[in-house]
Chain A
Amino acid sequence: MNAQELIARYEAGQTQFTGVSVSGANLFNADLIGIDLRQADLHGTILVFAYLSRAKLNKSNLQGAKLSGANLNQASLTGANLHSADLHGATLQEADLRSADLTLATLLDANLINADLRGAKLSGANLTGACLRGANLREEKRIYTAQLVGTILCQVDLQGSDLKGAELPKVNLSGANLREVNLRDANLTGADLTGADLTGAYLTDANLTGAKLAGAILTQAKLERVWLMDADLAEVSLEGALLPDARLSKANLTRANLAKARLNRADLSRATLKNANLEEASLIEAYCARTDFTGANFRQANLVRAELSSAVLTWVEWQGATMPDGSDYVGSAE
């Protein structure tokens, strides 16, 4: 079937086009709202700026289709093949993309608000600038695990989304909005979170070994037992963050703001905290073997039972601090 025939039949009132082949056709700006194209062959079809809201595209073949600027709001795309499809600036609000194959697809600046992406394959896909507010990427009974290995997620908006247990190793989430995101138990080893906003995020038990977090905002984030070994946390804001039992050995926390942070029993061995701000921080029983605290600010901090014997403590400010033996800091005569 060619494009003209499809449009003519659709305009005449036909909506059922299950299984048809329109591959390679030019349907630029076509109005095909609510069309039923289940299992249709649309590979390589030009659907730029097409109106496909509420379209049924389940199990359709859209491999390499040009869908930039297309409107796919509330469209049903479960199991669709969107491998290498171009969805630049497309609107997929509330679309059902469960188990869709979006491997290597371009979703640059796409609207994926409230979209269902459970079980979607997003490996190697480019989601730079995409808005994923309210999108569902939750791991569910293994069957519905979204695959996000190597996905580019720069500047994405995932505020408030549930990514509990998500597999996100080496993912690029730089500059992303991850405020209040649930990333408990998530695997973010080696991930790039440079400059990301993780204010109030839940990272309890998450694995961020070797992750890049320079300049990230982690204010009030929950990071209990988090794995941050070898992570780059230079100049991060961790003000008021909860880090009890965090594994921070060899991490770079140069000039980090840890004011009022809770670091009780945290492992800071061999970590660098040069010029870090630890004012009013709690470091009860923190393990600081060979930790570099040069120029750090410990004013009003609580260091009761902290292991500091091998730490570098040059130019440190101690005013009002509670020392490892429980005594108040007594400064030298001013």
Chain B
Amino acid sequence: MSISLLIDEIASTLDQHKNALRIRKLLFCACHQRWEGDRKVLEQLDLARLLQEFYSNNLTLDQCTESLFHIVNHLNRQGEYTKVANFIIAELEKLYEIIAESTEFFPPLEVTEFTPINSYQISLSKIAAQLDQHPEVLRLRKLIYCACYNKWENNPHVLMGFNLTEELLTLREQNQSLDDLSLTLQVIVKSLNRKATYAKISNVLLSQMGLLYPQSTQEEKTVLRVAPQSLPSPVKPPPAYEIEEVTSPLNHGSVSYDSLALDLWAEPPLEETGLIEPSAIQDSIPTPAPPPKSATYDPFKVRLEVMKYANPLRAKILVYSVLHPTFDGSSADWSNLRSQTLNYLLFELYNQYSEYSELANQLYTTLSHLDYPEENAQVAEAILQAIKPYYS
């Protein structure tokens, strides 16, 4: 059975479920990173297309589970939505079983056809075409972009707009050996919050790029898991994703603020530590080189980073609400808000939470009780990104 037929079938099964609307809500949120409560909008959605989108965003059933439960954990009706999520996952299992047989996008045999080649041009375009067909093409392009320019890009227009063949050539020229490339990618992956996801993406890229390096005939050597033994001088690590998001110039130029905020929201660092594959990441870095972290808390830097990306008053309200859960917007609360500076509130927040994940959880829990959840989610992200460098 073809994938699209199977998706249609799953869609109709899901639509017959008594919680069909909640299924749509959950899938919509997973695909669009926002909660839609309007019944009309939800009913007008093409469920099969939504499923297709959800499927292409999630490479494995594990990722599906992770995406759905990441949302469920932030909802107030967790019990109800857990059942809904489990039902969706049970249905999608069929899809991934079928796919399992056809996931070999890059069979090793095919690999040998391209190696070794001195003139990269032909193989480069073939690799580029292969990579462009990958379901995770956007993330692949993000990783490639970062490896080439040492800068994280979230704007899909920029990402899909560049010539992949040229970028791959740049990448090949910047990295003299496959080990160099592996290290470059490792450093980037390690600085991201979705490490596990990007480790897989990185492996896909390495297995393809391996064809451009004469000595790498077995793609096992190219995967991230292999620790490069004798490394040349360490590659200058690109700024960590979190750092990059907040220290980029004030004028974003073509980068739309909305897309930036959306992606920040789309990839929150919440509880992501549990997702890291230790064998894939940690073993591969010969020296534990953490992303640049300031040892001492710099109140001005933190406030600056928060202010660049969030409304200062909303930031104050959110932080104040975390520190004073009884905040109800009474005149006494407002007067307290005026007597405590953002600097002070941020530092109190930092002092109160010894664990970063605990802080993130508390921010998200608090914002779910406030008005304007979208604006406040952006504020929470800005605070987390600004404060993260001071957590070890």
A105-133 vs B, Cβ < 8 Å mask (1 yes, 0 no):
00011110110000000000000110101
Return B93 CB to nearest CB of chain A, in Å.
Answer: 44
Contacts of A177 in B (CB 8 A): 300
**A157 and B311: CB pair below 8 A?**
no
B142 adjacent to chain A (CB < 8 Å)? no
Question: Once bound together, how far apart are the Cα atoms of A27 and B311, in whole Å?
Answer: 18
In the bound complex, what is the Cα–Cα distance between A71 and B341 (angstroms)?
Answer: 19
Q: Which of A122-172 contact B (CB under 8 A)?
A: 128-129, 131, 133, 154-155, 157, 159
Interface stretch (choices B17-25, B173-181, B279-287, B301-309): B301-309
Contacts of A88 in B (CB 8 A): 313, 338
B47 at the interface (CB under 8 A from A): no
Q: A111-B307, A113-B250 are in contact. Are A155 and B312 (CB under 8 A)?
A: no
Contacts of A197 on B, CB cut-off 8 Å? 300
CB contacts (< 8 Å) of B315 on chain A: these are 89
Q: From B307, B313, B341, give the contact of A155 (CB < 8 A).
A: B341
| Chain B residues in 8 Å Cβ range of A157 | 300, 303-304
A69 contact set on B, CB distance < 8 A:
311-314
Q: How far, in Å, is B389 (CB) from chain A's closest CB?
A: 17
Which of A68, A89, A93, A110 is within 8 Å of B250, CB to CB?
A93
Q: Which of B308, B311, B341 contacts A129 (CB 8 A)?
A: B341
A49: Cβ under 8 A from any B Cβ: yes
Out of B304, B308, B311, B343, name the residue touching A89 (CB < 8 Å): B311
B342 at the interface (CB under 8 A from A): yes
* Residues of B close to A154: CB separation below 8 A: 341
A209 within 8 A of B: no
Contact A109 B304 (CB under 8 A): no
Interface size on B, residues (CB 8 A): 16
Name, among A111, A154, A155, the residue most crowded by chain B CB atoms within 10 Å (CB to CB). Answer: A111
Q: Does A90 contact B (CB under 8 A)?
A: yes
How does the 8 Å CB contact mask read for B314-353 relative to A, with 1 for contact and 0 for none?
Answer: 1110000000000000000000001001110000000000
Q: Which chain A residue has the least Cβ–Cβ distance from B251? A: A94
**A49 CA to B314 CA, complexed, in Å:** 9
Is A109 a contact partner of B341 (Cβ separation < 8 A)? yes
For residue B242, give the distance in angstroms from its CB to the closest CB of chain A. Answer: 20
Which of A91, A113, A129 contacts B343 (CB under 8 A)? A129
Set of chain A residues within 8 Å of B307, measured between Cβ atoms: 91, 111, 113, 131
A-B contacts counted at CB < 8 A amount to: 59
Among B300, B304, B314, B338, the most chain A Cβ lie within 10 Å of the Cβ of B300
Bound form: Cα–Cα A129–B345 in Å: 11
What's the Cα separation between A88 and B335 when bound, in Å? Answer: 12
Q: Nearest B residue to A68 by beta-carbon distance?
A: B313
Q: A89-B313, A90-B312, A91-B312 are in contact. Are A128 and B341 (CB under 8 A)?
A: yes
Contact with A along B97-122 (1 / 0, CB 8 A): 00000000000000000000000000
- Chain B residues with CB under 8 A of A159: 300
A55 to chain B, nearest CB (A): 16
Range for the number of chain A residues in contact with chain B: 20 to 34
Q: Which residues of A contact B312 (CB under 8 A)?
A: 69, 89-91, 109-111
Give A218-264 interface residues, CB cut-off 8 Å to B.
Answer: none
Min CB distance B182 to A, Å, is: 39
Contact present for B313 and A109 (CB under 8 Å): yes
Do residues A109 and B316 form an inter-chain contact, with CB atoms below 8 A?
Answer: yes
Q: Given contacts A49-B313, A89-B312, A90-B313, are A109 and B342 in contact (CB under 8 A)?
A: yes
B385 to chain A, nearest CB (A): 16
Using an 8 Å CB-CB cutoff, how does the interface string of A57-74 with B read, 1 for contact, 0 for none? Answer: 000000000001101000
Cα(A68)–Cα(B337), bound, Å = 12
Selected from A89, A128, A131, the residue in CB contact (under 8 A) with B316 is A89
A263, B53: Cα distance in complex, Å: 70
- CA of A288 to CA of B254, assembled, Å: 61
Output the least CB separation between A147 and chain B (Å): 24
Q: How many Å lie between the Cα of A71 and that of B314 in the bound state?
A: 11
**8 Å CB contact of A133 from B304, B311, B341:** B304
B108 CB, nearest partner CB in chain A, Å: 53
| Chain A residues within an 8 Å CB radius of B300 | 157, 159, 177, 197
- Does the CB pair B338–A108 fall under 8 Å? yes
Return chain B residues, CB-CB under 8 Å to A68. 313
Contact with B304, one of A90, A110, A131, A155 (Cβ below 8 angstroms): A131
B350 CB to nearest A CB, Å: 16
B contact residues around A111 at 8 Å (CB):
307-308, 312
Interface centre among A68, A89, A91, A159 (most CB of B within 10 A): A89
Chain B: minimal CB distance from A2 (Å): 24
B311 touches A91 (CB 8 A): yes
Note all chain B residues with C-beta closer than 8 A to A110: 312
User: Of all chain A residues, which has the CB nearest B315?
Assistant: A89
Choice from A91, A93, A129 contacting B342 with Cβ under 8 Å:
A129
Contact between A108 and B304, CB atoms less than 8 A apart: no
What residues of B have a CB within 8 angstroms of the CB of A71 in the complex?
Answer: 311
Decide if B343 touches A155 in the complex (CB within 8 Å): yes
The answer on a CB contact under 8 Å between B341 and A131 is no
| CB neighbors of A among B147-192 (8 A) | none
- Alpha-carbon distance between A131 and B300 when the two chains are bound, in angstroms: 9
Q: Which residues of B contact A128 (CB under 8 A)?
A: 341
How far apart are the CA atoms of A157 and B342 in the complex, in Å?
A: 12
Residues of B within 8 A of A114 (CB): 250
Measured between beta carbons, the chain B residues less than 8 angstroms from A133 are 304
The distance in angstroms between the C-alpha atoms of A135 and B341, with both chains bound, is 20
CB A167 to nearest CB in B, in angstroms, measures 24
Residue of B nearest to A129 (CB): B341
* Residues of A with C-beta under 8 A to B313: 49, 68-69, 88-90, 109
Distance in angstroms between the alpha carbons of A287 and B387 in the assembled complex: 48
A186 to chain B minimum Cβ distance, whole angstroms, is 20
Name 8 interchain pairs, CB-CB below 8 A, sorted by A.
Answer: A89-B311, A93-B250, A108-B341, A111-B308, A113-B308, A129-B303, A157-B303, A157-B304
Which residues from chain A sit less than 8 Å from chain B, CB to CB? 49, 68-69, 71, 88-91, 93-94, 108-111, 113-114, 128-129, 131, 133, 154-155, 157, 159, 177, 197
Top 7 A-B residue pairs of the complex, sorted by shortest distance between their CB atoms: A89-B313, A69-B313, A129-B341, A89-B312, A177-B300, A111-B307, A109-B342
